[in-house]
Chain A
Amino acid sequence: MKQISLYADRNSFVHDLDPISKLYYILFSILVPVILPSISVTLICSFLSIILLLLAKVFKKALPVFLLVFIVLITVVIIQGLFRPGNETIFLKIGPAVFYKEGLLYALKVTLRVTDIVGAFLILVLTTKPSDLVESLVRRGLSPRIGYVVISVFQIIPEMTSTMSTIMDAQRARGLETEGNLITRIKAFIPLLGPVVLGSLVNTKERAMALEVRGFNAQGNKTFLNEEKTSVLSKPIQLGLLLIVVMAFVWRLLT
């Protein structure tokens, strides 16, 4: 079964942690560098994210994402280094291009922040089953309908791509040329849309009925088959993270 989720099944204490603590961690990673905007704080936070990814044994899976992000960040470095208003101190000259210290420092800060936040999100995404995350949220009051939509997307989209290839075959069988230059391909794509959209509408209607008769709209409280994943560490971690955010805030106010 194909899955579009990035979840990587490993044995680590990060995996054992509950999804909500990981959400706290994301909040922490965003807020702390905002409250205390010094480069050293941001640096510490990014290191923390990377260390956690390493401990969760998912750093390799995180690399491609980081790489993608860095490609985008290079443009930030170039633009800020060259043109940031307030650029005064020349840092580096390459031919006619002059990089300024102020701009580069700013770009470094942005880069670190992005690394930190992306890292925190990856910790959540790579070490948590989507269904576990959504279930945790539903327990905390998220509408089960929204929860259902979010999880089912992970399974139903791969199914739709396989339907797509059947449809493509059916059109090729009737002489539609799908191989060749871009225009041929685009032309071939249009007849696919009808059956895909209509097919999924029909499926959605049938599925809606099937869900309905399984009490999807039942009044009253829902129960859960799986016990909620909690670890003895959950509460201390969540409190600790909150405490650090509050302390950072107080520190900021006092200094």
Chain B
Amino acid sequence: MIRVENLTFSYPDGPEVLSDINLDFDMRSTAIIGQNGAGKTTFAKLLKGLLKPFIGDIYIGDTNVRDTSAAMLAGKIGLVFQNPNDQIFKSRVLDEVMFGPLNIKLDKQTARKKAIEALKITGLADKLEVNPHDLSLSEKKLLCMASVLAMDTDIFILDEPTIAQDHTGKETIRKIIQSLKERNKLVMTIIHDMDFAAENFERIIVFNGGKAILDGDASFVFGQKDILQQARVEAPAAARLAEELGLAGTFLTEEELIKDLRQCGERAQL
């Protein structure tokens, strides 16, 4: 779906933010993790065509990002920014969500239909007429997600979706990601919440100092303790507990850990 070749990037007069990145993205849902300043958000902006590569190329499908504009890519790849206050500008929830679909030249009827669908998935269907600025921060984040979902792109990038969400909010986002995967969409995220990343994403890429230093499925990546430490990334809580207990293998979720510990307990009783 996405091919990144020898990508190097720096801001004018700045140091290199990304250096020589080569990545292929297939349909696996992917989480990009790493410290602030590791180049994650810059990378997302490059994929989206908001920035142009300094050296190297990015292909979305067959299109080279260099030859197109962010607006033209909007129908193919959706990006939800971290801070909802930077993107909301309509005075009605429904209009906010219809803005994207109308921009990619859907007719009003279809745009409305897509918007309402997206608002249903995000649990905001009862708020169509509300002014977005009266929503809470967590609702605003879901609204921003809805306004990208409504564009029905093949690729979704979510920048820190779980910030400001309580347990219920995270559950909603989990379900959205699930349904996107079921509909054969490529879901990517930039995230600090390791527990959420481990539970919901198949592939994990660790960025450190502008390089992709680790790439693989979640259990492989979170098993590489030395490299994680070097990138100053903490493994998910379940993995840390398993390590403390000296269990073999990498555990990503509460459920996996409980299952294993149950078996341990049974063996002990035998």
Contacts and interface: CB of A to CB of B under 8 A. Distances in A.
Q: Do chains A and B touch in the complex (CB under 8 A)?
A: yes
B85 A175 contact: no
Contacts of B70: 169, 172-173
How large, as a class, is the contact surface on chain B?
Answer: 20 to 34
B100 A172 contact: no
Contact of A195 (B48, B78, B89, B147): B89
B244 to A, nearest CB: 40
Interface in B73-127: 74-75, 78-79, 81, 83, 85-90, 99-100, 103-104
Contacts of A178: 71
Given A176-B103, A198-B133, A171 B87 contact: yes
B81 A170 contact: yes
A88 interface: no
A175 B74 CA distance: 5
B36 interface: no
Contact of B71 (A166, A177, A198, A199): A177
Contacts of A177: 69, 71, 103
Contact of B147 (A167, A169, A174, A198): A174
B50 A169 contact: yes
A136 interface: no
A172 B104 contact: no
Interface in B41-85: 45, 48, 50, 69-71, 74-75, 78-79, 81, 83, 85
A132 to B, nearest CB: 29
Contacts of B103: 174-177
A175 B79 CA distance: 11
B50 A195 contact: no
A174 B151 contact: yes
Nearest to A197: B89
B148 interface: yes
Interface in A176-216: 176-179, 191-195, 198-199, 202
A195 B71 contact: no
A193 B100 CA distance: 17
Which 4 residue pairs of A and B lie closest in terms of their CB atoms, listed nearest first? A175-B74, A175-B103, A194-B89, A170-B87
25 contacts: A167-B86, A169-B45, A169-B81, A170-B81, A170-B86, A172-B50, A172-B74, A173-B74, A173-B78, A173-B79, A174-B103, A174-B147, A174-B148, A174-B151, A175-B100, A175-B103, A175-B151, A177-B103, A179-B71, A194-B89, A195-B85, A195-B87, A195-B89, A198-B85, A202-B85
